[in-house]
Amino acid sequence: MNIKRFHAPTAREALAKARMAFGDGTLILSNRPTPNGVEVVATAEETLNALDEVESAPVQERPVAKSAPRESGSARAASNPVQQDTEALAMSTLSFQDYVRERMLRRRHEALGEAQTHQTDRAARMPETSPIQRAAAAPMPRHNPLTKAAPQPAARSRHEPPVAMQSPKLSNQDGVMHELQAMKDLIEDRFNTLSWLGQARQNPIQSNLMLKMIRAGYSPALARTILERLPEELGAAESVHWLMEVLERNVKTDASVEPLYEQGGTYALVGSTGVGKTTTTAKLAALCARIHGPASVGLITLDTYRVGAHEQLRSYGRMLGIVAHLAHDQAALQDLLGLLSSKKMVLIDTTGVAPRDPRRRDMLDVLDLPEVQRLLVLNAGSHGDTLEDTLMAFKTSGAQQAILTKVDEAVKLGPAIDALIRHQLLLRGVTNGQRVPEDWEAADAHALVATSMRSLARSAFDPKSTELNFFFSHNAEQPRSRGLIDA
């Protein structure tokens, strides 16, 4: 068994040495602090194969203890494979004891399954006898009131292996491997967290930036992913500029293309209830009518649930000189789209539904047409978990486009920008009021990031520097965000 000890000033460097020695399949067996840093004991996954070979050795090859009561210490060690494994691995921790106990239990199940399989095969090879002969030859069962009668297995062919005896064995093996993989992932996550926190304590600039991002509303997953790539040679002011540039670079906007109302097309505005879809539809229609004329815009509403929803859009259209149409189903929507096919821009106002509302699926099915593009309307003042739930519920295939509304009402823009970055949404515009169409702005990544990082008054929800351990103790979303950051 190839087991090595690695010494380094920090746990992260020791783990890096272990990975360089054993590759991606490195198993961390133990770690402890030393006067010069940290000591890590590691091995490769091939060690498990060596353990399996030791356990699969036949019992007959082991020496019998009765014939030699004064045998040497080496012979006694050879008769106990678990003791060999413990001495070879140089471990006596609780994790290794649980592992050995799991292995011994697995070996008992295998021996029990093989014995039952042997009895079944021997019974299948017996000559055919009549039911009366089998009843006469069978021993009389002893009555035990504390035991229950075991169910009789169904008859099988002579060459067919018993399925009921193989399934517990296979499921036990899968369960052991699943638990080992979960243990490995947990150890790696804890090592990464400890190394990150140790590095943050040694680097006060990084720790302060991390605290600033969390106070601004950014998720710990995104903050940790970005700040892990912070160059060490930067000073305090340069680090802030570097962080702002990374955030701006990862916010996707339509600054390089034509604005939405000049580009034209057929768009359906979808989202939760009360995010401002109808008002945003009126703003886009007014901006397009100002440039191309009222005859170039078509308005359709699917909102038949909310009282006065159709009248609200019709009132906006009457002020702009545009007729607003109502569609009850997909067939009516297709007819209206064919009627308005010559328009520069066609806007579809949809029903606002909650992410877990059963009507959401029906509404999205109505919009499942090739010429209809979806614009997800997000409330900038929503909580991060609310935005995450909305994005997962209204997620579609292909390019994801979004509009950020009610920016003037949001105390913190960090959660909204965090959601845009992690889900890689293309921001097509921003609204900051109820006026039509004055309160519409183009998506500016620099202005949004600067507003989100602006220092606000102290809040009861702001964490302290001593509470960062709780934020980084478990990070399940980091793998999904790690490959999306352009630093």
DSSP track, 149-167 = PPPPPPP--SSSPPHHHHH
- Give me the pLDDT at residue 252, please: 93
| Pairing outcome for strands 297-301 and 324-326 | parallel
**Side-chain half-sphere CA neighbours of 407 within 13 A:** 22
405: enclosing H helix or E strand: strand 401-405
Helices (H) and strands (E) in the chain, counts: 20, 12
Q: For residue 60, is pLDDT > 60?
A: no
| Residue 199 contacts residue 12 (beta carbons within 8 Å) | yes
Taking the C-alpha atoms of residue 210 and residue 230, their distance in angstroms, rounded to an integer, is 11
Taking the C-alpha atoms of residue 478 and residue 337, their distance in angstroms, rounded to an integer, is 43
What's the whole-number mean pLDDT along residues 175-194? Answer: 74
Question: For all residues of the chain together, what is the average pLDDT?
Answer: 76
Highest averaged pLDDT of the listed ranges 203-212, 291-300, 468-477: 291-300
User: HEC states along 227-277?
Assistant: HCCCCCCCCHHHHHHHHHHHHHHHCEECCCCCCHHHHCEEEEEECCCCCCH
What's the whole-number mean pLDDT along residues 86-115? Answer: 64
Q: For residue 449, is pLDDT > 90?
A: yes
More confident residue, 180 or 455: 180
- Give me the pLDDT at residue 282, please: 92
Taking the C-alpha atoms of residue 280 and residue 159, their distance in angstroms, rounded to an integer, is 72
Query: Which burial class, exposed, middle or buried, applies to 10 when counting CB atoms under 10 A from its CB (0-12, 13-18, 19+)?
Result: middle
Taking the C-alpha atoms of residue 22 and residue 4, their distance in angstroms, rounded to an integer, is 10
Q: Which residues contact 430 (CB under 8 A, 6 or more apart)?
A: 380, 403, 404, 405, 407, 440, 441, 442, 443, 444, 448
The candidate with the shortest Cα–Cα distance to 236, out of 197, 200, 206, 216, is 206
| Residue 291 contacts residue 261 (beta carbons within 8 Å) | yes
Q: Which residues contact 272 (CB under 8 A, 6 or more apart)?
A: 352, 353, 354, 355, 379, 390
- Give me the pLDDT at residue 243, please: 93
- Give me the pLDDT at residue 421, please: 93
Q: pLDDT confidence of 192, banded at 50, 70, 90?
A: low
Summarised one tens digit per residue, pLDDT across range 254-300 is 988 889 999 999 999 999 988 999 999 999 999 999 999 999 999 99
Q: Which residues contact 106 (CB under 8 A, 6 or more apart)?
A: 172, 173, 176
377: enclosing H helix or E strand: strand 373-379
């509304």: which residue's tokens?
405
- Give me the pLDDT at residue 401, please: 92
Q: What is the DSSP letter of 6?
A: E
Instruction: For the chain, give the percent of residues with pLDDT over 90.
Output: 25
**3-class DSSP state for residue 416?**
helix
Q: Which residues contact 87 (CB under 8 A, 6 or more apart)?
A: 77
248, two tokens: 């701006």
What's the whole-number mean pLDDT along residues 333-348? Answer: 92
More confident residue, 312 or 197: 312
Summarised one tens digit per residue, pLDDT across range 3-16 is 788 888 888 888 88
- Give me the pLDDT at residue 235, please: 86
- Give me the pLDDT at residue 374, please: 92
Q: Which residues contact 436 (CB under 8 A, 6 or more apart)?
A: 279, 282, 283, 286, 316
**3-class DSSP state for residue 404?**
strand
Q: What is the pTM of this model?
A: 0.56
Radius of gyration, alpha carbons of the chain: 34
Taking the C-alpha atoms of residue 49 and residue 51, their distance in angstroms, rounded to an integer, is 5
